[in-house]
Chain A
């Protein structure tokens, strides 16, 4: 079955760029589904960051659009997130997930998540 796994640094300095990769196994990233990133600050709710299709088409949250880049590498069955100019407010657990048929429709399954802390 499809599985997703986030990877990347757990600590990022303020003003630097957060970079995470999601590796998809058991399913081709070039399928009909989209792929997305969602984050959750400690003890708080969920926030959609953006979604991507294997063709490279991207959809971003308006509140993060100026700082976010999501890309896809079909040869490695991976997609990635870059968030620039980070601050403490970007400290969160970052999840990747498969997105259903439309870039916003549903997220299933999710990766286990990775905590990224922004601190000097």
Chain B
């Protein structure tokens, strides 16, 4: 099962909004509403930010939102803050009864 496709890097200035895409196929992202997003700061464990495409766990800032259109899921961060600088990974359930991750996107806050 191929990894989901994410841009290697995105950047934005404080206060701006950015969107990170996660592209799959009809066998994974497009076929199921089981897309999750994780934030990982250097040397730290990943942290769940979004689950089931658009749900935010308790304690996660409402500046983070998720959506899906066809086989592409998206993570949007509004009101960008310096602390948002991190790597972001998406994941999805697949029709092969497995779980795949995206390659990761490095977010730089300018």
Contacts and interface: CB of A to CB of B under 8 A. Distances in A.
Interface of A: 45-48, 59, 61-63, 95, 100, 102, 104-113
Nearest to B87: A45
A46 B51 CA distance: 16
B46 A62 contact: no
Interface string B45-78: 1111001100001000000000000000000000
Classify the secondary structure of A's interface with B: loop
A45 B103 contact: yes
A114 B93 CA distance: 25
B101 A95 contact: no
Contacts, number: 60
| Most chain B CB atoms below 10 A, which of A47, A48, A108 | A108
Given A48-B100, A61-B98, A106 B36 contact: yes
Contacts of B48: 106-109
Interface size class of B (residues with CB under 8 A): 20 to 34
Interface in B71-110: 89, 91, 93, 96-104
Contacts of B51: 100, 105-106, 108
A59 to B, nearest CB: 7
Contact of A104 (B44, B45, B93): B93
A95 B96 CA distance: 23
Given A48-B100, A59-B97, A104-B98, 13 more contacts: A45-B101, A45-B103, A46-B46, A47-B101, A48-B91, A48-B101, A62-B98, A95-B45, A104-B93, A105-B51, A106-B48, A109-B45, A110-B47
Contacts of A62: 1, 96, 98
B103 to A, nearest CB: 5
12 contacts: A45-B89, A46-B46, A46-B89, A46-B104, A48-B101, A61-B98, A62-B96, A95-B45, A106-B52, A108-B47, A110-B46, A112-B44
